[in-house]
Amino acid sequence: MASTAGRLAEDTCERDWIWEREIEAAPWEETRRLGAGAWERQFRRIRESSGFYARKWREAGIGSSFVSLGDLSQLPFTTKDELRQALDESPPFGSNLCVAPEQVKRVYQTSGTTGTPSVLALTRGDMESWTTMGTRTYYATGIHEHSSVLTTFGAGPFVAGHTHFVLLRIGTRSVPVAPGDTERVVFGLKAGLADTLLSTASFAQYLANRAERLEKESPSPLQGRGVEGEGRGTGNLTHVVTGGEPGGGIPAIRDHIQRVLGVTVTEVMGIGDVAPSLFGECPHQQGMHYCGAGHVWVELIDPDTHEPMDIETGAVGELVYTTLTREAMPIVRFRGSDIVRIEGTSCECGRTSFRQRVMGRRDDMFIVRGVNVYPAAILSVVGEFRPRVTGRARVVRKSDATSIEPPIPVEVEVTEHHESDPALVADIENAIHARLMFRSRVTLVLESDFGEAGYKTNLSRKDSPHSPKTPLPPGERG
């Protein structure tokens, strides 16, 4: 059985299923030693070249002596706002640029929540470390040299475009499609050009709903086996890798995509300012492996008290990132805002890195009568009402207050003919009450009014007449 331990069911190749076994399957102490060595060099580089961190650490009362990786929690967090200020005070690359401008060889932009783009400069070495982490990540999902991968990630301006270098490194056949070009994705799959699709969970869900609709219109002669290849219009597709939003890790969403499209779903995750791909889920489907050993150090903290937490099975907290090898724009203790659950610290695949699943964004969390709720929990309940609903839903927030008084306003996307269905509203409200212990007020919204299916779905929205529907690209998390 060892030969299939870390592979997808249909993968018969002979290459090792771990890209860098000596690193990815090393004892945790080894990973720690690798990180500590890299941090020593990184700390020196930051001390010598970053005006931004020189001031920040002076203001925080950090002396001139070396702060070891084990004492990292003595250093202050870095926020998105601070990184933006660092750029503004010395454009175009800011006061945190630690190399000569000529050494900057690639520039990505991030889409901030305020709409002002932010700049991310990379040296050749930075690009290489991103490719290394990305290759471990995507290889872990089961994508190998023999895969044909259809991707809708643009080459730029967003960091998700770096995935193209990763696919080249793995040696896959690549089938690029422009972001948002749904018709070409559908054509590419139907024509049998790809066995693997990289997309947001929202888009994979859209494909599954579409396949179900096609099936209803012209039923397949084979009952009880899901929709057959020809009928569901996805050709040779056997594997979907989702990223950019937590959906692929939510059972109600994942199971539906897998069942309808006849595929295996694994997910990946990156953080725009840190690395576009940093976590990848292996075919055992037990959460995403940390794939940044030697390049990015990860801490887990309590989101309320900010105290460090042990990375152990069952722990729930916020991930904090420190780049260990970044040359152009190093980042120390960046709060990623994703609240994750540690699913385990070993795996049948042989990787020794911890596994995690995202519960939601810190900002999306709200509190109902003292209980923390993540909108993803609502998706799990709503998903059970298919095919009347599509599986997408979001919480409407009236203000910035974290504590919300029930009933909680929830918008649920429905398929045609269900936009005014009082029985469905009552059923969903009852299910949310029974499972999540709070009252809700459900509004049904037609697919055409909910926003683009091809992009990531915001799990909450501000209640304003013209709420922004600006989509974030996959791989970009704030």
Our finding on whether 404 is near Zn ion (CB under 5 A) is no
Cβ proximity to Zn ion, 260 vs 288, nearer residue: 288
Part of the chain binding Zn ion (CB under 5 A), chosen from 30-38, 127-135, 342-350, 363-371: 342-350
Our finding on whether 342 is near Zn ion (CB under 5 A) is no
Part of the chain binding Zn ion (CB under 5 A), chosen from 17-25, 86-94, 344-352, 449-457: 344-352
Phi-psi region of 334 (alpha: psi -120 to 50; beta: other; left: phi over 0): beta
Q: Which residues contact 64 (CB under 8 A, 6 or more apart)?
A: none
Our finding on whether 8 is near Zn ion (CB under 5 A) is no
* Nearest approach, Cβ of residue 347 and Zn ion (Å): 3
Tokens of 125: 């070495």
User: Under rule CB under 5 A, which residues in 349-378 are in contact with Zn ion?
Assistant: 349, 351
Cβ proximity to Zn ion, 1 vs 423, nearer residue: 1
CA distance 447 to 29: 50
Cβ proximity to Zn ion, 349 vs 373, nearer residue: 349
Q: What is residue 236's three-state secondary structure?
A: coil
Q: Which residues contact 239 (CB under 8 A, 6 or more apart)?
A: 8, 141, 142, 143, 147, 195, 196, 197, 263, 264, 265, 266
Cβ proximity to Zn ion, 176 vs 350, nearer residue: 350
Among 282, 311, 319, 389, contact with Zn ion (rule: CB under 5 A): 282
* Nearest approach, Cβ of residue 312 and Zn ion (Å): 17
Part of the chain binding Zn ion (CB under 5 A), chosen from 222-230, 279-287, 310-318, 401-409: 279-287
Our finding on whether 271 is near Zn ion (CB under 5 A) is no
Cβ proximity to Zn ion, 279 vs 455, nearer residue: 279
* Nearest approach, Cβ of residue 222 and Zn ion (Å): 33
With beta carbons less than 8 A apart as the criterion, state whether 277 and 250 touch: no
* Nearest approach, Cβ of residue 201 and Zn ion (Å): 20
* Nearest approach, Cβ of residue 266 and Zn ion (Å): 10
Among 347, 368, 376, 444, contact with Zn ion (rule: CB under 5 A): 347
DSSP state of 197: E
Q: Which residues contact 86 (CB under 8 A, 6 or more apart)?
A: 52, 94, 95, 96
Our finding on whether 291 is near Zn ion (CB under 5 A) is no
Cβ proximity to Zn ion, 301 vs 349, nearer residue: 349
Part of the chain binding Zn ion (CB under 5 A), chosen from 37-45, 245-253, 348-356, 428-436: 348-356
Q: What is residue 183's three-state secondary structure?
A: helix
Residue among 322, 323, 296, 318 nearest 306 (CA) = 318
Cβ proximity to Zn ion, 85 vs 345, nearer residue: 345
Our finding on whether 18 is near Zn ion (CB under 5 A) is no
| b/e per residue 415-440 (b: at least 16 CB within 10 A) | beebbeeeebbeebbebbeeebebeb
* Nearest approach, Cβ of residue 285 and Zn ion (Å): 9
Task: Tell me how long the chain is.
Answer: 478
Amino acid at position 157, single letter: P
CA distance 262 to 189: 13
The residue count for binding Zn ion (CB under 5 A) is: 5
Tokens of 268: 């990946």
Cβ proximity to Zn ion, 351 vs 361, nearer residue: 351
With beta carbons less than 8 A apart as the criterion, state whether 98 and 125 touch: no
Residues engaged in binding Zn ion (CB under 5 A): 282, 284, 347, 349, 351
